[in-house]
């Protein structure tokens, strides 16, 4: 059945440039890349957006500490994010920066809409602000008088601000969430969101009077746009919200926002409300994954346990780093990343698992079949059944962002392939039953071909090398045929085994 070409627009949070890129940022962006590549394999039209969040008090303070002007500081750090993401082989179609002039201009247009639609009013904000979170906080959100995330005492501020009439939109946002017009996943995050409506939410400021590092507020040049309000808009300015309406209307209905649960309220409540107020549709799908610790502790500069993705890439390669990040614990749940287990996991799953099967099969084809795809009457029924069921399982897992389930299914197919080799012993068949040998080698090639396609979104570099060795063109979801007689190239080890392996 021909697959209908669809659009898929996937976003990640835009990351604050006060920080260096770490594996928390890499985690979400690798996950988004997997979804983007999976949809591209399917023939879908994909737009994958990531980028950096550059304005606000937090970035301005860090720039000052670094002795740089905020824009120069943002330039420097934004580039580190982009370079790191490129090294991770992330296939983003656009890297947005909130200091881009097109973003700044379109934010002005969005705010004008809010104002025209009567969604803004002037008022005074007297209260608390946590610069670490870049958010207004209430007494009841504090623990021992401190922000529970940053463990800092929030500042007390009094500012003349423009406020957003959140109250006017809450009922409609809640209705759309309950009726799944806005799908919030996983279920635990949906419940958390519904809890927020019950608790009650206050109107919030869309402008800041005393923050100068920001987009000038269109209706009062003494103020700047509140950083979260413009940051959220990156998702629409990147696709031409007011600059290119036809592009915007083509992509926006197909958006999926991906992030961790730390920024739930902004995405599941504030953002849909702002969009409704501006006369736009809210996002259709929001997936909030868990938050991880490193060796049991929150990653922080002061603890010195921040892992730079570049360090992982140096040690394990880009595919290895991607795999290790996503394979630690189920996506969607909270978890712990234990760096000490990386080598063992890499060796077990990639070197001894996938890499070894691919090398063994190609080596046997070279040894016993002159490097050519053997003549066989299609794959045997048992192998066809295994590959078909694995494909269905991986499809289902990826539709639910259950990467660990996808890994398990692929690993089972690899183990099945290893089992075929152990059982059939091709080196003996070479002497005793050459016809059977052809069938076995053909089956094994079919297994490797299927693993190549299924692993492609996770391990794009190794699977591309394998696809070349198998003589495949550009990969799609349909596993390409292996015509008998085709000469196969030899294969360099995909995942060289690393030291420190258990004896
Ligand atoms: N700038 C805002 C987002 C604006 S989006 C319109 C922001 N930036 S951030 O740099 O703090 O990034 C937060 C995001 O980074 C999380 O939502 C998550 O995607 C990722 N993560 C950072 N640390 C992480 C973990 N320890 N665990 C899981 N995800 C992590 O918030």
Calculate how far, in angstroms, residue 14's C-alpha sits from the geometric centre of ligand 1.
Answer: 8
> DSSP letters along 181-240, please?
SSEEESHHHHHHHHHHHHH----EESEESS--SSPBPTT-TT-EE-HHHHHHTHHHHTTT
Residue nearest to atom 10 of ligand 1 (CA): 15
| Crossing angle of the two packed helices 70-87 and 309-326, in degrees rounded to 10 | 50
Closest CA to 186 of 331, 54, 381: 331
Ligand 1 proximity of 237 Cβ (cutoff 6 Å): no
Residue of the nearest CA to atom 6 in ligand 1? 232
pLDDT at 140: 87
Residues 63 and 23: their CA atoms lie apart, in Å, by 22
15 lines ligand 1 (CB under 6 A): yes
pLDDT in tens, 82-125: 999 999 999 999 999 999 999 999 999 999 999 999 999 999 98
What the block records as the tokens of 56 is 């606000």
Residue of 10, 13, 131, 134 with the most ligand 1 atoms within 8 Å of its CB, for mutation: 13
28 lines ligand 1 (CB under 6 A): yes
Instruction: Calculate how far, in angstroms, residue 236's C-alpha sits from the geometric centre of ligand 1.
Output: 19
Backbone angles phi, psi at 272, to 5 degrees: -60, -40
| Residue 496 Cα distances to 348, 354, 363, angstroms | 11, 11, 16
Q: Is the confidence at residue 177, as pLDDT, over 50?
A: yes
81 CB near ligand 1 (under 6 Å): no
Task: Identify the three-state secondary structure at position 447.
Answer: helix
Q: Which band of pLDDT confidence, cut at 50, 70 and 90, is reported for residue 173?
A: very high
Helical H segments across 200-348, by residue range = 227-232, 234-237, 245-251, 264-265, 271-277, 309-326, 342-345
**Apex CA 132: angle with CA 128 and CA 136, to 5°?**
30
Report yes or no: 117 and 71 within 8 Å, Cβ to Cβ.
no
Q: State residue 4's pLDDT score.
A: 61
For residues 403 and 35, the answer to whether their CB atoms sit within 8 Å is: no
Q: Which residues are catalytic?
A: 22, 25, 130, 133, 147, 150, 298, 301
Nearest to 270 by CA among 359, 182, 152, 211: 182
Q: How far is the CA of 168 from the centre of ligand 1 (A)?
A: 29
Over the chain, what is the mean pLDDT?
A: 96
Other residues' Cβ atoms within 10 Å of the Cβ of residue 476: 15
Q: 291 in ligand 1 pocket by Cβ < 6 Å?
A: yes
Q: Whose CA is nearest to atom 21 of ligand 1?
A: 24
Predicted confidence (pLDDT) per residue in 270-299, tens digit: 999 999 999 999 999 999 999 999 998 899
Supply the DSSP string of 45-77, one letter for each residue.
Answer: EEEEEEEEE--SHHHHHHHHHTTS-HHHHHHHH
């Amino acid at each position: 059945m021909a697959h209908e070409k669809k659009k898929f627009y996937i976003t990640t949070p835009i990351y604050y440039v006060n920080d260096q890129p770490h594996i928390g940022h890499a985690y979400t962006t690798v996950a988004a890349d997997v979804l983007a590549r999976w949809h591209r394999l399917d023939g879908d039209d994909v737009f994958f957006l990531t980028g950096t969040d550059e304005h606000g008090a937090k970035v301005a303070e860090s720039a000052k500490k670094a002795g740089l002007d905020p824009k120069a500081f943002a330039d420097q750090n934004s580039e580190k994010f982009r370079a790191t993401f490129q090294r991770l082989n992330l296939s983003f179609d656009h890297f947005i920066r909130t200091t881009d002039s097109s973003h700044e201009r379109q934010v002005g247009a969005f705010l004008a809409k809010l104002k025209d639609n009567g969604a803004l009013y002037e008022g005074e904000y007297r209260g608390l602000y946590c610069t670490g979170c870049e958010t207004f906080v209430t007494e009841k959100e504090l623990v021992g008088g401190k922000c529970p995330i940053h463990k800092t005492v929030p500042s007390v501020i009094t500012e003349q601000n423009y406020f957003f009439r959140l109250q006017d939109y809450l009922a409609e946002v809640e209705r759309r969430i309950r009726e799944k017009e806005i799908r919030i996943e996983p279920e635990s995050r949906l419940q958390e969101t519904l809890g927020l409506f019950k608790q009650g939410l206050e109107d919030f400021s869309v402008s800041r009077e005393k923050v100068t590092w920001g987009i000038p507020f269109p209706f009062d040049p003494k103020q700047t746009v509140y950083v979260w309000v413009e940051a959220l808009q990156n998702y629409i300015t990147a696709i031409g919200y007011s600059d290119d309406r036809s592009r915007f209307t083509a992509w926006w209905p197909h958006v999926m926002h991906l992030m961790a649960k730390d920024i739930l309220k902004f995405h599941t409540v504030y953002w849909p409300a702002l969009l409704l107020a501006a006369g736009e549709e809210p996002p259709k799908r929001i997936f909030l994954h868990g938050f991880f610790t490193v060796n049991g502790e929150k990653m922080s500069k002061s603890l010195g346990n921040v892992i730079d993705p570049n360090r992982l890439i140096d040690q394990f390669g880009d595919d290895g780093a991607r795999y290790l990040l996503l394979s630690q614990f189920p996506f969607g749940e909270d978890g712990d990343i234990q760096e000490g287990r990386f080598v063992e996991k890499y060796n077990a799953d990639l070197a001894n698992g996938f890499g070894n099967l691919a090398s063994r099969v190609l080596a046997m084809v070279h040894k016993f079949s002159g490097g050519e795809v053997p003549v066989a009457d299609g794959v045997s029924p048992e192998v066809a059944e295994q590959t078909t069921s694995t494909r269905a399982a991986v499809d289902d897992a990826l539709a639910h962002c259950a990467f660990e389930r996808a890994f398990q299914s692929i690993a089972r197919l690899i183990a099945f392939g290893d089992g075929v080799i152990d059982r059939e012993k091709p080196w003996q068949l070479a002497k005793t039953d050459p016809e059977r040998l052809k069938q076995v080698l053909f089956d094994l090639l079919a297994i490797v071909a299927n693993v190549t396609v299924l692993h492609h979104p996770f391990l794009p570099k190794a699977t591309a090398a394998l696809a070349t060795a198998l003589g495949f063109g550009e990969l799609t979801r349909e596993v390409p045929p292996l015509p008998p007689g085709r000469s196969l190239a030899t294969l360099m080890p995909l995942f060289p085994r690393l030291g420190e392996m258990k004896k």
